[in-house]
Amino acid sequence: MTFTTSLRRRTALVLGLLALAGPALAEAQNDLAGIRVINRDTGEVLRTWYHDGRYYVAGEPGTRYGLRLSNHTGGRVLIVASVDGVNVITGETANYDQRGYVLSPWQIIDVNGWRKSETAIADFQFAPLSSSYAARTGRPGDIGVIGIAMFRERAPLSHGSSARATDRPAPYIARSAPIPSSPLPAPAPPPAMAAPPPPPAARAPSPVMQAPRSESGDSARSSMALADEKLGTAHGASEWSVINTVSFTRATAEPEAISTIEYDTWDHLVAHGVIPDNARHHPQAFPGEPRLSYVPDPPA
């Protein structure tokens, strides 16, 4: 082995270790389909971190986001997607045997919100757990995870063959379509959780016993409490998003692949060791490299 070959191998090993320690570029991809999380306010793909066999992204409360789904095959695939344990089309507690998006061969689509109808969605928006759609509908147990279950389409049955139990058509399958430019009236918001009855009226304390209330202090404590909450996904503003209903027969009863991406705030992911403490980029006032004051000589 020459010195050059040895150096190249050691360099490749170091680069491989760095890749494992840093952000994942594959971002929950497999041979069938893939998912990326998009910051809709900036258009960038959120950096994905790989830690203990799981993928993570960091979000900020109030930021709109979308799921970029991609079909990696030459045939149609069905992708059943969930956010916080809730099916993004039906609003049911997520299960494999539910509605999903059908992608044509090699197609890429953006799923940007909770499906409200064939023409509207409610934006996905990062929010404190207590403001998330799952928590508001009484299902806070699986907040902080995005998942997709993927199915291939069954090939047409040959003449004379019989259908099996696993060959049932999937109900209520939807696929994406062009988005109109005209606005849509906002759909009705989801039913809010019933509020507990007010406590019985109590005798007001005497002026001497009543302590002055600090509104600014209460607001600060409330903001700190929200900042400490785990991140979830809220039921955001309404927008146009049109779909068509199509037929799709699953090749298998169980999904052929499942991909998940967990998410939380940057500070929480740093605290749990998912993101290195020194990974945050701090803006620089003068990011340019130092250079000579005058035109340098050309290279020899």
Please state, for a pLDDT cut of 90, what percent of the chain lies above it. 56
Report the alpha-carbon distance of residue 58 to residue 69 in Å, rounded: 19
Answer whether residue 209 is part of any domain. Answer: no
10's enclosing H/E stretch is helix 3-21
Q: What are phi and psi of 224, to 5 degrees?
A: -65, -40
Q: For residue 275, what are its two tokens?
A: 């993101």
Model confidence band, residue 297 (pLDDT cutoffs 50, 70, 90):
confident
Q: Are 106 and 153 in contact (CB under 8 A)?
A: no
The total domain count for the chain is 1
Q: Is pLDDT larger for residue 75 or for residue 169?
A: 75
Report the alpha-carbon distance of residue 189 to residue 174 in Å, rounded: 22
**Residues 107-135, mean pLDDT to the nearest whole number:** 96
Answer whether residue 195 is part of any domain. Answer: no
Answer whether residue 214 is part of any domain. Answer: no
Q: Is the pLDDT of residue 103 over 80?
A: yes
Answer whether residue 58 is part of any domain. Answer: yes
**Cβ atoms within 10 Å, residue 108:** 15
7: left (phi over 0), alpha (psi -120 to 50) or beta: alpha
Average pLDDT, the chain: 75
* Residue that is written with structure tokens 């009855």 in the block: 197
Answer whether residue 114 is part of any domain. Answer: yes
Q: Which positions ≥6 away from 210 have C-beta within 8 Å?
A: 204
Q: Is the pLDDT of residue 185 over 80?
A: no
Answer whether residue 101 is part of any domain. Answer: yes
pLDDT tens string 146-179:
999 999 999 876 554 433 433 343 333 444 433 3
The helices-and-strands tally (H runs, E runs) of the chain is 4, 16
CA angle 267, 271, 52 (to 5 degrees): 115
Answer whether residue 56 is part of any domain. Answer: yes
Which pLDDT belongs to residue 295? 76
Q: Is pLDDT larger for residue 226 or for residue 15?
A: 226
Q: Which positions ≥6 away from 253 have C-beta within 8 Å?
A: 165, 166
Report the alpha-carbon distance of residue 88 to residue 201 in Å, rounded: 42
Q: Is the pLDDT of residue 276 over 50?
A: yes
Q: What are phi and psi of 15, to 5 degrees?
A: -60, -40
Q: Is the pLDDT of residue 41 over 90?
A: yes
268's enclosing H/E stretch is helix 266-271
Q: What are phi and psi of 18, to 5 degrees?
A: -65, -40
Report the alpha-carbon distance of residue 29 to residue 36 in Å, rounded: 8
Q: Is the pLDDT of residue 65 over 90?
A: yes
Q: Is pTM, for the whole model, over 0.85?
A: no
54's enclosing H/E stretch is strand 54-59
- HSE toward the beta carbon, residue 154, CA cutoff 13 A: 20
Answer whether residue 173 is part of any domain. Answer: yes
Q: Which domain holds residue 51?
A: 27-152+169-179+228-277
